[in-house]
Amino acid sequence: MGTLFKNGTIITASDMFRADLLVEGEIVTLIGRDLDPTGHTVVDCAGKYLMPGGIDVHTHLDLSFGGTYSNDDFNTGHKAAAFGGTTTHIDFVIQPPGGSLHDGLIEWRKKATLAQIDYGFHLAVRELNDAVLDEIPTLIDEGVTSLKLFMAYKNVFQVDDSTLFRTMRVAAKHGMIVMVHAENGDVEAALTPALLAEGKTEPKWHASSRPPEIEGEATNRAVVMAGMTGCALYVVHMTCEPAIAALRRGRALGYPVMGETCCQYFFLTVDEHLAAPGFEGAKYVCSPPIRSKHDQEVLWGAVKDGTLAVVSTDHCDFWYEGGVGPTAEWAAAHPNGDWHAFEAQDPTYRRPGKELGRGNFAKIPNGMPGLEDRMMVVWHAGVNGSRISPQRFVELHCTNPAKVFGMYPKKGTLAVGSDADIVVWDPNKEHTISAKTHHMHCDYNVYEGMTVRGVPVQVYQRGIRLVDGDQWLGKNGAGQFVRRSPGAPIL
Ligand code: URP
Ligand code: ZN
Ligand code: ZN
């Protein structure tokens, strides 16, 4: 006995067609017209679309960053993701200072014991030595085939060019993909103190400390190194014209380079959001910064013409009003990590958040929520707004992420033999986004008040229903680690 999704319209990266879809066990076993319902549980999908579960390849759950930890973990973040139609994500494991890559994996595997949806790991290299270089190919045996290097966040995550270049050489040899956060961190580190010294301390100055030129320059540097090493490169969270131009140049030269943007960069601007009165702009502080309306059009152009392959979130949420509960003395006496234990004892406690940067934009934790909103907001502006087709939407949010990161066709499509990760999408249902109703563990939503048309009404992972309307049916520990393959295609 299986589950038969009847009378729906299936959307894949290439097609959109009326068909029934049968799930037996964890996989899709049959797609066809007028399938016999005898012996199956029937889900009536008349008037609905069936899409593959969304894949968000850029998340930071429970990340120690900016003097605190990001809020959502593998429990709350997974539930929020599924309510938004995302059933798989890849999180960034960070190599601990002085530690190995495997030390980082051990730490992240502990976080993932709470998993409610499927997940994978990228590995962020912070310190490269001979032992780490030797360790890189061994990650493939662990199902990890992507590395990440930060060209920004000096004295925190930033690596030098030699580290990036040598990592790319090893990755290329083993068919692994290198991802970069492309901003020139040295220039940022020179601009920030100069701005602060001029009394420019409000959130909006964050954008001036990280102008488009430093993103374009770093993107170009990474693209050139990819060309020299033959390493597959994926530039994360691209935001602006100079960066897109650098990517286009590399692609035109035949270099193995790809890029993603994140949903917030289509919607938020410095003028309207980062420069909001008072400290409100802190909600929108992320790196690279949100940009201008012009850059938004450049990004839409790049997803339309295939320059950008993926839309993800860079979900990394912090309280707007955090640090609620213990005294400053308590917080000072309890270094990072103890906060988790404290929160477990006292649910009213909030770890520090954006308020850390009142009076100094450089101390505002970088990042924002989005994991739950991604598919709804991009469908609304992209598909309803006639910018992209439903098929291209599926390609950007499901299929390409699976292909680029070695999970296809297990994930990312609806085909016979694929995991039955299925979103039943109601294209006519409206929803007004709000922090009052979202499932992310965050006291604000960057799309607050936006009414979208087109929402997930049921969400399935490997044939198990996780979401039914407002009802949550998932379970901790049910999410599985997705082992990924090297040698993914360049799209
Ligand atoms: O502001 C951001 N993007 N925070 C998360 C870390 C990163 O750079 O991706
Ligand atoms: Zn980044
Ligand atoms: Zn990120």
Rounded mean pLDDT, 80-96: 98
Specify the DSSP class assigned to residue 287. Answer: S
3-state class (DSSP) for residue 146: strand
- Predicted confidence at residue 341, as pLDDT, reads 72
pLDDT per residue over 410-453, tens digit each?
999 999 999 999 999 999 999 999 999 999 999 999 999 999 99
Q: Are 491 and 400 in contact (CB under 8 A)?
A: yes
Rounded Cα–Cα distance for residues 13 and 54 (Å): 12
pLDDT at position 349 is 82
pLDDT given at position 326: 64
Pairing of strands 41-44, 257-262: unpaired
- The pLDDT, as a whole number, for residue 332 is 66
Q: Kindly state if the Cβ of 296 falls inside 6 Å of ligand 1.
A: no
**How remote is the CA of residue 59 from the centroid of ligand 3, in Å?**
6
206 lines ligand 1 (CB under 6 A): no
Q: pLDDT digits over 246-258, tens only?
A: 999 999 999 999 9
**CATH second-level architecture of 54-318+353-375?**
Alpha-Beta Barrel (3.20)
Measured in Å, residue 264 CA sits from the centre of ligand 1 at: 12
**Residues of 193-228 as b/e, b for ≥16 C-beta within 10 angstroms?**
eebbeeeebbbbbbbbbbbbebbbbbbbbbbbbbbe
Residues 31, 18: Cα–Cα separation, whole Å: 10
Q: Cα dist. 60→89, 192, 417 in Å?
A: 10, 24, 30
Query: What is the C-alpha to C-alpha distance for residues 344 and 246, in angstroms, rounded to an integer?
Result: 46
Alpha-carbon gap, residue 288 to 183, rounded angstroms: 7
**284-342 residue pLDDT tens:** 999 999 999 999 999 999 999 999 999 999 999 999 999 887 666 666 666 555 677 77
Share of residues in the chain with pLDDT > 90 (%): 93
Cα dist. 294→131, 166, 215 in Å? 45, 36, 16
CA–CA dist 254, 249 (Å, integer): 9
Could you state, in order of their start, the residue ranges of all structural domains in the chain? 54-318+353-375
Residue of 346 and 29 predicted with greater confidence: 29
6: buried, middle or exposed (CB in 10 Å: 19+, 13-18, 0-12)? middle
Report how far residue 289's alpha carbon sits from residue 192's, in angstroms, rounded to the nearest whole number. 14
Q: What is the pLDDT of residues 273-297, one digit of tens each?
A: 999 999 999 999 999 999 999 999 9
Q: What is the pLDDT of residues 134-155, one digit of tens each?
A: 999 999 999 999 999 999 999 9
- How far, in Å, from the CA of 150 to the mean position of ligand 2? 7
What integer best gives the mean pLDDT of the chain?
A: 96
**How large is the average pLDDT for residues 354-383?**
98
Q: What pLDDT, on the 0 to 100 scale, is given for residue 327?
A: 61
Under 8 Å CB-to-CB from 332, ≥6 apart: which residues? Answer: none
287 ligand 1 Cβ < 6 A: yes
Name the percent of the chain lying above pLDDT 70.
Answer: 97
Q: Is 181 in the pocket of ligand 1 (CB under 6 A)?
A: yes
The verdict on whether omega for the bond into residue 288 sits within 30 degrees of 0, i.e. cis, is: yes
User: How many alpha carbons fall within 13 Å on the CB side of residue 201?
Assistant: 9
Residue 467 three-state SS? strand
Strands 464-468 and 3-11: unpaired
**Non-local CB neighbours of 434 within 8 Å, separated by 6+ positions:** 445, 448, 449
| CB contact set of 447 (below 8 Å; sequence gap of 6+) | 267, 373, 377, 433
**Can you tell me the distance from the alpha carbon of 353 to that of 325, in angstroms, rounded to the nearest whole number?**
13
Beta strands, E only, 61-154: 64-65, 68-69, 86-94, 118-124, 146-150
Question: Quick check: 453 and 427 in contact, CB under 8 A?
Answer: yes
Which amino acid type is present at position 270? V
Q: Ligand 1 in contact with 183 (CB < 6 A)? A: no
For ligand 1, say whether the CB of 400 is within 6 Å of any of its atoms: no
For residue 219, the number of C-alpha atoms closer than 13 Å in the C-beta half-sphere is 28
At 474, is the pLDDT very low, low, confident or very high (cuts 50, 70, 90)? very high
Average pLDDT (393-398) is 99
Q: 379 alpha carbon to ligand 3 midpoint, in Å?
A: 22
Distance 473 CA to ligand 1 centre (A): 31
Spatial distance between the Cα atoms of 148 and 419, rounded to a whole number of angstroms: 27
Query: Nearest bound ligand to CA 92?
Result: 3
Residue 3 per-residue DSSP state: E
Is 466's pLDDT higher than 90? Answer: yes
Residues whose CB is less than 8 angstroms from the CB of residue 55 and which lie 6 or more positions away in sequence, other chains included: 86, 87, 88, 89, 90, 397, 398, 401, 402, 405, 407, 411, 412
- How far is CA 82 from its chain centroid? 13
Cα–Cα distance list, 270 to 211, 217, 382, 447 (Å): 11, 21, 21, 15
pLDDT tens across 171-217, in order?
999 999 999 999 999 999 999 999 999 999 999 999 999 999 999 99
